[in-house]
Structure 1
Amino acid sequence: MGQKINPTGFRLAISRNWASRWYASNRDFAGMLAEDIKVREYLKGKLKNAAVSRVVIERPAKNARITIYSARPGVVIGKKGEDIEKLKKELAAKLGVPVAVNIEEVRKPEIDAKLIADSITQQLEKRIMFRRAMKRAMQNAMRLGAQGIKIMSSGRLNGIEIARCEWYREGRVPLHTLRADIDYGTSEAKTTYGIIGVKVWVYKGDTLGRNDAPVVAEPRAEEERRPRGPRRERPAGPPARAAVRRPGANAAPADGSDKPAEATPGLEPKPAVKRVRKDAAPASAAADGKGE
């Protein structure tokens, strides 16, 4: 039975890039990876109301550069940049190296998978019906240019005893097409009945990845056909069908005499004179007619 793989990991090095971009030796790799996880958890709690889509961490030459993609950059920066300066100091203390923080604005949060999932989980925690939240998010995404969207919620939906899974899809979401730009995001809603997980797939159209080349249009079938040659060079076709005799036309008499039998009424052949063209008549006959 086929299962759904993570669309982002499936497209890494083709049309997607890593969220952590640095190199480390085997001795330092585990420690730096643990630091990245702690930084992401810290930013997730610190910037809970800033609509953070993703965090990119880079480590160039004993420094750290953190790029935060947010739909509300003003909340991250704070009044006169006070909040971001405080954030830099706290991140530098956690990483032990100088940290530069960049803020990038998300122009269309309605078609960002992570922000859609966070919005739905916030509504679920406020006891809003999950179907209403999912359908409203799908309508907003399709209205703002998404070519397809799929949302799935799992858990004790509406507080039922047995956990189940419900999903809705609008448009097309090609999961196996590597050139398809699929944005994937997850989130969790902590309700009184337990945790409800939300997954979102957003299809934004095809993209040319780093290893792709433009598609060359192939000639159509009409352009590939060769012109027809003369009839004598063409292969012989099926044998011609024999002429079908109509009943009653030139039939032999039943008594065996030389007199032709009478044609059946309505099926008698046309007179031969009607099939002869006038200009084919002999010249002498035409002269006799003029004399009369």
Structure 2
Amino acid sequence: MTNNEPKRPNSGAEVPNRPQPRPRRPRMRLPFDDRKQDAGEWAYDHRLGLSVMVIAYLILGIIFFASKIAIGSRPHMQGIYVDLKTLAELEAEKERLEREIELKQQQDIDWSAVRNRMSNDALLNENLRDDRGTNTSEINESAKDIAAGMAANRAAYEAGLAEAQSILDAERDKPSEQGKNSKSQDAKYKGGVTVRYSFKDPVRTKRDLVIPAYKCEAGGQVEVAVVLNNGGEVISARVVSGGDERMREEALKAARASLFNIDNTAPARHSGTITYTFIPQ
């Protein structure tokens, strides 16, 4: 046997172990390995949470529509539309109807019976009696006696004032002769007159009155509300009713130029009326 021949193991000799292969390393577990790809399976697995969410949204929707909440809407405002033009037209129509009624009433006036006189309607008619048969002249005399007694009690206090006032009255009465004995000149007339005036508590008498009866072509009556001061001067005048624009203008002009008696016992603003009758020309 040569040395190059391999040695054969004996049948009774042990066979050496071969090297075993390494075991494979286990695969790394990733978070998305168990992700469900089927939506139905995912919904089934989360059915409890989905049911709670759907019920909550339904409750919120019912509350929202039941309370009628309008998100982002402007507040509702109510208003009343007033047509000023319509109001002006109605006012003009009202004035026109009032003028027509006044003109209709004035057409019934008997112009031939109107006398060119001035009537102080605040004066009492001494021949009249009241409903109990009492003579008004007796009442007037009693009132004068009482007033005289009261004046006598205050004479001491007013002595100085009376002297100064008498000087003032004398100076103011010089320009107008009608101011002297004005009470005797004033009278109350029934029927149609060109001027009627009335101032009460106390009664005021005229000093100088303007009569505009023949200054307008149309005929009618104009009533003017007048305010006097203690000196008998007109401090304000406004038309109350009657007449057209021309008659109203003349009536206001005449009223503002009027003068009445001086009376310190009268209020500082003594209200009364002057009614002018215009005779058609």
More strand by share: 1
Q: Same fold (TM over 0.5)?
A: no
Higher relative contact order (CA 8 A, sep 6+): 2
TM-score by length of 1: 0.21
More helix by share: 2
Greater gyration radius: 2
